């Protein structure tokens, strides 16, 4: 597979999602009658419903669903590809299986199964992410370690806000920070790591 599939898929997916935000009718958690998409107050999932929060027909829906599908597919390919860089077969299998399963599980977030999809996907995808992080932390890749810690911190912070319903005013922003963090880290892993970076030294 062409090495540039990851940035190409991410750019296409984000372009479709940005178009969706531009045509979103309006309404957010802080103001149901607002017009347009508010990056501070709207969740990405607001783009997927048949009607917007302000009850208008949601013209953003199909742009958003297309973008989400492409993003999930692209990241599934990333997990499958990155697993080939891991010399430990058991860890590679976990990363491949949990990563792909997590991306398949997250797509129903565009349906009424949103809450279930979030939970199932979080369990599987974060298992893969934590496995990758552990392997990276055992390597000599300093900047990758920093990105790993930032990604996990932002993901679990967003999860804490979501599941405890704490400071929900902050959750839409945290959701986007978490997404950007994981995309930057995955791009760095994709382009700036090799199999040799993750080979464990032989025991003497």
pLDDT, tens digit, 9 for 90 and up, residues 113-131: 899 999 999 999 999 999 9
Residue 56 reports pLDDT greater than 80: yes
Could you list the residue range(s) of the whole structural domain that residue 64 is in? Answer: 5-194
The mean pLDDT value for 92-101 works out to: 97
In-domain check, residue 16: yes
Residues 6+ apart with CB under 8 A from 75: 99, 103, 186
pLDDT at 204: 47
The mean pLDDT value for 57-65 works out to: 96
In-domain check, residue 29: yes
Residue 51 has phi, psi (to 5 degrees) of -125, 150
Question: pLDDT averaged over the chain?
Answer: 94
Residue 112 has phi, psi (to 5 degrees) of -65, -10
pLDDT at 112: 86
In-domain check, residue 14: yes
Spell out the SS3 assignment of 136-181. HHCCCCHHHHHHHHHHHHHHHHHHHHHHHCCCCCCHHHHHHHHHHH
- How would you class 172 by CB atoms within 10 Å of its CB: exposed for 0-12, middle for 13-18, buried for 19 or more? buried
Residue 34 and residue 28 in contact, taking contact as beta carbons nearer than 8 Å: yes
In which band, very low, low, confident or very high, does the pLDDT at 1 lie, cut at 50, 70 and 90? Answer: low
pLDDT at 2: 73
Helix (H, G, I), strand (E, B) or coil at 17: helix
In-domain check, residue 188: yes
pLDDT, tens digit, 9 for 90 and up, residues 169-179: 999 999 999 99
In-domain check, residue 202: no
**For the chain, how many structural domains are there in total?**
1
Helices (DSSP H) in the chain: which residue ranges? 5-23, 61-83, 89-106, 114-137, 142-164, 171-192
In-domain check, residue 140: yes
pLDDT at 199: 84
pLDDT at 202: 55
**pTM, full prediction:** 0.93
In-domain check, residue 67: yes
Residue 164 reports pLDDT greater than 80: yes
In-domain check, residue 199: no
């Amino acid at each position: 597979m062409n090495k540039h599939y990851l940035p190409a898929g991410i750019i296409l997916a984000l372009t479709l999602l940005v178009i969706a935000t531009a045509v979103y009718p309006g309404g957010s958690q802080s103001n149901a009658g607002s017009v347009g998409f508010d990056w501070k107050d709207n969740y990405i999932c607001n783009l997927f419903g048949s009607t917007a929060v302000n009850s208008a027909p949601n013209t953003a829906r199909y742009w958003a669903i297309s973008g989400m599908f492409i993003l999930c597919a692209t990241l599934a390919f990333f997990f499958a590809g990155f697993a080939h860089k891991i010399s430990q077969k058991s860890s590679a299998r976990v990363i491949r299986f949990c990563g792909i399963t997590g991306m398949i599980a997250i797509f129903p977030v565009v349906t009424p199964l949103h809450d279930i999809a979030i939970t199932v996907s979080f369990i599987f995808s974060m298992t893969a992410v934590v496995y990758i992080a552990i392997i990276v932390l055992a390597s000599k890749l300093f900047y990758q370690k920093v990105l790993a810690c930032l990604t996990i911190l932002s993901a679990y912070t967003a999860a804490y806000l979501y599941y405890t319903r704490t400071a929900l005013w902050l959750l839409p922003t945290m959701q986007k920070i978490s997404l950007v963090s994981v995309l930057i880290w995955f791009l760095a892993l994709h382009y700036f790591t090799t199999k040799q970076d993750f080979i464990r030294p032989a025991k003497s």
